[in-house]
Each structure stands twice: as C-alpha cells, then as structure tokens.
A = this chain, B = another copy of it.
Amino acid sequence: MTEPVSAELPGRRTTRQRSALVALLDELDGFRSAQDLHALLRERGDSVGLATVYRALQALVDDGQLDVLRGSDGEAAYRRCSPVHHHHLVCRSCGRTVEVTDPPVERWASKMAAEHGFSEVQHQVEVFGTCAECTAAARS
C-alpha cells in the first residue's frame, strides 16, 4: 500500500539478462521467435537461459513493450513496438515489418461487432506479403 503504485514496473529488477534481451530486440526489426532470440544471445556471448528468455519476453509483453504474433505453425514471435495501437505488414521471406495504422479499419471492426451484439471487442489485423527486396532477390 505504501509502494509507488504509479511506477511503471513495480518490483521489477534490471538485470544483465533483461538488458541484453532488450538491446537485442532494439537492433532487430522483424518478428523473432523466443528460440531465435535465445540462440542469438548465445551467439553474441550474452549467455542467458532459455527459461529466462521466456520469462523476460512475457514480462515485456505484459508491460506493453513488445508485440506478439502467432505464426501458422503456432510458434510465438516477438518484436519491439511502439506503444500506440497499430497493425503489421510482415514480409513472409525476411520477416521485415512495417507498422501501419488505419482508423477506418478500427471503426469498421467496432461497428461490425456492435451490429451483431458483440462487446469487449478486440481485433487482430495482420498483412503478410513479400517485400520489394525479397521479390527482387527471388528473381535473380
């Protein structure tokens, strides 16, 4: 009751492992699986346990600092994202991601849900394609 409730991350400590993970995510610009991130950390010498990677990712998601996406194989992929509501345009081939926003889509989702009596609505809009570079590379 006496703790500063307004603090962003109450009772969350800053450790070498979490810093390394956040730094890595800042460098990457596409969605990466937890397994990938764990392997990348090991490669660069920042040895971190797999369970720790999962815990840290989950914590960051809870804090709204990461976005999660489920691929067609069910594996979760993570990415550092802006805190405002947005959707993604993801390259199937290289994983590069563009954040996009579109108020009309938001309105459409709310309207459609209301028309059918649905409440507490969330929507999920992701666009997958092949980016210009990968298309060019595939042609060579």
Contact = CB atoms under 8 A, between A and B. Distances in A.
A47 interface: no
A109 B127 CA distance: 7
A112 interface: yes
Number of contact residues on A: which range applies?
Answer: 35 or more
A104 interface: yes
Contacts of A50: none
Contact of A124 (B118, B121, B126): B126
A25 interface: no
Contacts of A112: 89, 100, 102, 127
A42 B112 CA distance: 37
Interface of A: 70, 72, 74-76, 89, 91-92, 98, 100, 102, 104-105, 108-109, 112-113, 116-132, 135
22 contacts: A70-B74, A74-B76, A98-B116, A100-B112, A102-B108, A102-B112, A104-B104, A105-B108, A109-B127, A113-B129, A117-B131, A117-B132, A117-B135, A118-B132, A119-B129, A119-B132, A120-B129, A120-B135, A121-B127, A121-B128, A122-B127, A124-B128
